[in-house]
A = this chain, B = another copy of it.
Amino acid sequence: MPDIRLPYLLYLGDAGPEFGAKTAQGVLHWRPEVCLAQARLPGCAVDLRLKDLSFSEAVERGARTLLIGVTNRGGVLPQHWIPHLEEAVKAGLDIASGLHERLADVPELARAAADFGRQLHDVRHPPANLPLATGAKRTGKRVLMIGTDCAVGKKFTALAVHAEMERRGLAATFRPTGQTGVLIAGSGIALDAVPGDFIAGCAEALSPDAPTDHWDVFEGQATVLHPTFAAVTTGLIHGSQPDALVLCHQAGRLEMRGLSGRALPSLRETIDAHLAAAQLTNPGAKCVGVSLNTNDLSERDAHRAIAEASAEVALPATDPVRFGAGALVDALID
C-alpha cells in the first residue's frame, strides 16, 4: 500500500446526524499537525472547528489528500458527493477513505484519478500481491497490544505508548493494523480485510528488520478468545512476533461486544492464551503490563480498579488516558 501524502483536508460533505465522524476525530486527536482544514457542503451538521477551505485554497496551502472523515451505517458514499470529490481530484488532491464502498470502483473518481495522476486510497481494501509469512525472526523490538475483547482501548494504548516513547527520545514507530490507525499514520494495512492466508505475512511486512533498540508499537485487533474475530488476532500475533504484550481491558465490561451472554475472559486467561500464540514465533514473548480503560469510573474508583488489576496479574497497570503511558513504557524498557 503506498503511503498517504500528508497533510489532510478533512471532508465532511453535508453529513447529517446519521453520520459519525469517528475517523476524522481520531486523526485530529492524534495528529492535529496533519489536519490542515475541513471541507463541507452547505447543510453539514458536523464541525471539527477547523478552518473551512475550498479544495483549491487547501491545495494552495499545502493539503495533499482529502480524507473522507465521516461515515454512515453501511459505509457507502452518498451519490451527490461524487461530483464534489471529482472536483477535489481535479484540484490536485488524492483521496483517502475507510468506507466499505471502494473509491476506485466509482467510475468518475477512477477516471479523474487516472487523468490527473492522483491516488485513491481505500484503506479497507488490501492491495494485490500480498506476502506470505515466513516466521523468520526480525531484528529490533516489538510490542503488541492484546485485549479481553474488541474496542477496549488497544489503538489508544498503542498510540499513547508510542507518544511516550517519542517524548523520551526512544526510537519507535507506531504500526497501525486497522483502518483508523492507517489513516492516522498515513501508512499500514487494515488486517481485518486481508484474506486469511496473508494476515501473518502482512503483519511481518508491516515491521521489517530494524535497529536493535528500535520499538515497533503495534495496534492490536480483537482477541484470540473472540469467537468472531480471533483469526485476525492470530495472524497478527504470529506475524508481529512481539517481544512484549500489553493487555488492554475495559474496567467493568462483563460481556463480549456483540455477543450477548458470552462472559469476558479473565485477565489471566487472556494473557495465557495470547502468550501461547505469541511464543510460536517468539519464544521469549512476555506480557509486561495492563492498560485499563476506566472511562466509566470516578477517579477514586479508577485508582482502585487499576490497583486491583495490577495485583490480579502481578504486573504494572495504568489508564493511559487518565494517568499517562509512563508505567507501561517503564515496564517495556525494563
Interface residues of A (CB under 8 A from B): 132-135, 191-197, 199-201, 224-225, 227-232, 234-235, 238-239, 258-259, 262, 273, 276-277, 280-281
Taken together as a complex, chains A and B put the C-alpha atoms of A196 and B238 apart, in Å, by: 14
Q: How far is the CB of A66 from chain B (nearest CB, A)?
A: 26
Q: How far is the CB of A1 from chain B (nearest CB, A)?
A: 15
Known contacts A193-B196, A196-B196: A281-B227 contact under CB 8 Å:
yes
* B232 close to A231 (CB less than 8 A): yes
Q: In the assembled complex, which residues on chain B have CB atoms less than 8 Å from the CB atom of A200?
A: 227-231
Taken together as a complex, chains A and B put the C-alpha atoms of A231 and B233 apart, in Å, by: 8
Known contacts A135-B259, A230-B238: A196-B192 contact under CB 8 Å:
yes
Nearest 10 CB-CB pairings of A with B: A231-B235, A135-B227, A196-B232, A234-B234, A133-B228, A199-B231, A192-B197, A231-B231, A196-B231, A231-B234
Closest partner residue, chain B, to A235 (CB atom)? B231
* A201 close to B230 (CB less than 8 A): no
* B235 close to A230 (CB less than 8 A): yes
Q: How far is the CB of A137 from chain B (nearest CB, A)?
A: 11
* B191 close to A196 (CB less than 8 A): yes
Name A201's contact: one of B132, B133, B228, B232 (CB within 8 Å).
Answer: B228
Q: In the assembled complex, which residues on chain B have CB atoms less than 8 Å from the CB atom of A259?
A: 134-135
* B229 close to A224 (CB less than 8 A): no
11 examples of A-B residue contacts, CB within 8 angstroms: A133-B227, A194-B195, A194-B196, A197-B228, A199-B231, A200-B229, A227-B239, A230-B234, A230-B277, A231-B231, A234-B234
Q: In the assembled complex, which residues on chain B have CB atoms less than 8 Å from the CB atom of A225?
A: 280
Residue in A196, A224, A239 with the greatest tally of chain B CB atoms within 10 Å: A196
Q: In the assembled complex, which residues on chain B have CB atoms less than 8 Å from the CB atom of A132?
A: 228, 258
* A228 close to B196 (CB less than 8 A): no
Taken together as a complex, chains A and B put the C-alpha atoms of A304 and B132 apart, in Å, by: 37
Taken together as a complex, chains A and B put the C-alpha atoms of A328 and B82 apart, in Å, by: 59
Q: How far is the CB of A241 from chain B (nearest CB, A)?
A: 9
Name A227's contact: one of B192, B228, B230, B238 (CB within 8 Å).
Answer: B238
Contacts beyond the supplied A135-B227, A197-B231: 19 A-B pairs with Cβ under 8 Å: A132-B228, A132-B258, A133-B228, A134-B228, A134-B259, A191-B196, A196-B196, A196-B199, A196-B229, A196-B231, A196-B232, A197-B229, A200-B227, A227-B280, A230-B234, A230-B235, A230-B238, A231-B238, A276-B276
Q: In the assembled complex, which residues on chain B have CB atoms less than 8 Å from the CB atom of A194?
A: 195-196
